[in-house]
Structure 1
């Protein structure tokens, strides 16, 4: 919630849901999605890029799951237009079984669950953090298990110490980001409930 307030994204969503007849679609990564990011991935982004990453998980229009399968790819996200990038998502799947995949050009994952699908707000769970090609395209995909660290004399630098004490910078940002996504989904649902 703190990140929503400091970036003004929460306010932006509230205003858009109150004033638009288009609605909104949000993609919420799971805990494992953030845990599978390469350590330091989020820390390597500037403040503006972190905002773009957040906005990349939002489409400024309501889409049901079947609508996503019929959409003309790429579908523009809220991050589009900032610094000139397209920041689009591509959707594929089987309409008859109501299953959809989302691709960024860097990662591809499936929509694994529907949290909310009532106009004006749709919230879908995804199994990976959606990494925009505009920010991550020239790098190797920053997902999967982290590379083993070289041995050092200090126990505090060992991977076990980082995991046990949750002291690495990447872990704190992942926790903040997960809190952001969950807080964001909660915030949006609260706004829609208030409007109903």
Structure 2
């Protein structure tokens, strides 16, 4: 198995609230997108046939990563993000773990969304009714940290399970 582990800075550099907008299923897919089912060394990543399917691939299609580079430099691309892989945290069969300075964002989750069919018809509610509904809350900051922490902890548990 090969795991791409985003650093703390990778999560800190995400757009505020980016992870909050994901459903629980999408959060799992994002985590799975950072995992390849096969063990790859740095040099073997340069020889793969792109795109390489991730664990997020399924009946809806391949969620793949593309690898390019030469000699000791390997770049991984999602179509939205390109990041260089500089070293391995672990590269002993059956597990390779590579730190990455960006969260690998799949186009299926973070790409351009198709425009909606048409805007909803105006509501017949009066402004007084809407004002009585109360203010809305925005949980971008703390929720984003919780989701990021959950992704990191989940990835860690996967790695620990494989190592033991």
| TM-score band w.r.t. shorter chain | 0.7 to 0.9
Displacement of 1:182: 5.2
- TM-score, normalised by the number of residues in structure 2: 0.77
CA distance in 1: counterparts of 2:65 and 2:162, whole angstroms: 24
Which structure dedicates a bigger proportion of its chain to helix?
1
Displacement of 1:171: 4.0
CA distance in 2: counterparts of 1:137 and 1:189, whole angstroms: 28
What SS class does the counterpart of residue 91 from structure 2 fall into? strand
- TM-score, normalised by the number of residues in structure 1: 0.65
- Unpaired stretches in structure 1, ≥5 consecutive residues: 1-23, 140-166
Give CA-to-partner distance per residue, 1:121-162, whole Å, 9 cap, x none.
1100001000001111216xxxxxxxxxxxxxxxxxxxxxxx
Q: Is 1:81 matched up with 2:58?
A: yes
State the number of aligned residues: 140
Q: 2:25 aligns with which of 30, 34, 48?
A: 48
Moved beyond 6 Å, runs of 4+? none
Instruction: Say if 1:85 and 1:134, in contact at 8 Å, map to a contact too.
Output: no
In terms of Rg, which structure is larger? 2
Q: 1:181 aligns with which of 125, 148, 152?
A: 152
Displacement of 1:47: 1.3
RMSD of equivalent CA atoms: 2.0
